[in-house]
Amino acid sequence: MSKLFSSRQIVVILLREGFVFVSQRGSHAKYRKTSDVVATVIVPTDKKEIPIGTLHSIIRQSRLADKKFK
C-alpha cells in the first residue's frame, strides 16, 4: 500500500462494498454497513491524500481486506 488514496477514492471503495452514507459533521463523513457485521467508518472529506496511518485506521474500521484498497 505505497500509493496514497484521496477521500473520494476511499468513498468509492466503501460504496462498492455496500457501505452507505449516514451523516457528516464538519470535515468527517460517516459510512455504515449493516449486512453481516455492523461496521462504521469515519472518512475525512475533501482530502487529496489520506495519510497512511489514517488509511490503516479506515481499513480496520471497515473490516475489509487490505487487497480491496490496492
Reported confidence tier of residue 2, pLDDT bands at 50, 70, 90: low
Whether CATH 3.30.920.30 fits 7-69 = yes
39 φ, ψ (degrees, to nearest 5): -135, 130
| Residue-level pLDDT at 53 | 93
pLDDT digits 0-9 by tens, 4-42: 899 999 999 999 999 999 999 999 999 999 877 789 999
The residues spanned by each domain of the chain are 7-69
Q: Cα(67)–Cα(55) distance, rounded to whole angstroms? A: 13
Cell of 29: 463523513
Are 16 and 63 contacting, i.e. CB atoms less than 8 angstroms apart?
no
